[in-house]
Amino acid sequence: MRRIFLSLMFVPLMGFAIPEEGLDPLNSPNWQYIRKDFFASAPIQFDSRVVVIAPPMAEDSLNVPISVHVEEGLQVRRILIFAELNPIVRVLEMEPLRAKPYLSFRMKIQQSTPVRAAVLDSEGTWHVGGMWVNASGGGCTAPSSGSAQPDWQKHLGEVRSREWSEADGITRLRVRIRHPMDTGLVSGIPAFYIQDLDLADETGSVYLHLKTFEPLSENPVLGFDIPNRISRTFRLIGKDNNGNRIDKVLQ
């Protein structure tokens, strides 16, 4: 009966923001700790315009598909995505810059957890949306499979990409990066993960900046929306926590 009761709490509040004071709409046991650690005394609102889409039940705890988008009406400076009950809570941070406030990715989940996105607006208020994702667990404490291949180092940092034309002049860009994304929570395997990524055009103008963390899935696949595209080519530039560079002109 408890599971059924909680599922009723997952329905997002539609069309408006509510003050953070009061009940967490996801009824998370960890929210007050996260709120203090991540946001200190900054103002917060639970806001239905911050939309997190994920499967309610993760079939594969190593590869849970997540997408986040922010509806019109918020001036977005930064997006923070986190899984409250993961041993490593932070997943991604995004500065959209010239991109749309949209991001898709896959992540590891250790146990059932709220997955949330917090959006910092131009006035310093955080707007929070999210949902519960149920999982059988173990995603953060399983070793990567790619690093067991004898030639994995030859392919480290390789990038593949695809793009589609969407409505209203939007270009959806998807990139896949070869990397084990080890969390450091497996005995004898240190943390080894991508830390920073920039998407730039041929002039060097940056469209978005990402900070990525250990819970991102192995060989991460990331999706972005680029409005009113002028540039003919994009370049993905970044590095991992061991200093290995990622630098690829996307075709």
Digits of tens for pLDDT over the chain (251 positions)? 333 333 333 334 444 455 554 589 999 999 999 999 999 999 999 999 999 999 999 999 999 999 999 999 999 999 999 999 999 999 999 999 999 999 999 999 999 999 999 999 999 999 999 999 999 889 999 999 877 777 888 999 999 999 998 888 899 999 999 999 999 999 999 999 999 999 999 889 999 999 999 999 999 999 999 998 777 899 999 999 999 999 999 96
DSSP code of 12? P
Residue with tokens 């208020």: 125
- The Cα-based distances of 35 to 119, 123, 148, 162 in angstroms read 13, 18, 38, 37
Report CA torsion sign: 106, 111, 114, 119: negative
Categorise residue 117: left if φ over 0, alpha if ψ from -120 to 50, beta otherwise: beta
CA dist 162 to 94, 99, 222, 233, Å? 20, 16, 11, 12
Question: Hey, what CATH class is 2-238 in?
Answer: mainly beta
Q: What is the pTM of this model?
A: 0.89
CB-count burial class (<10 Å; 0-12, 13-18, 19+) for 157? middle
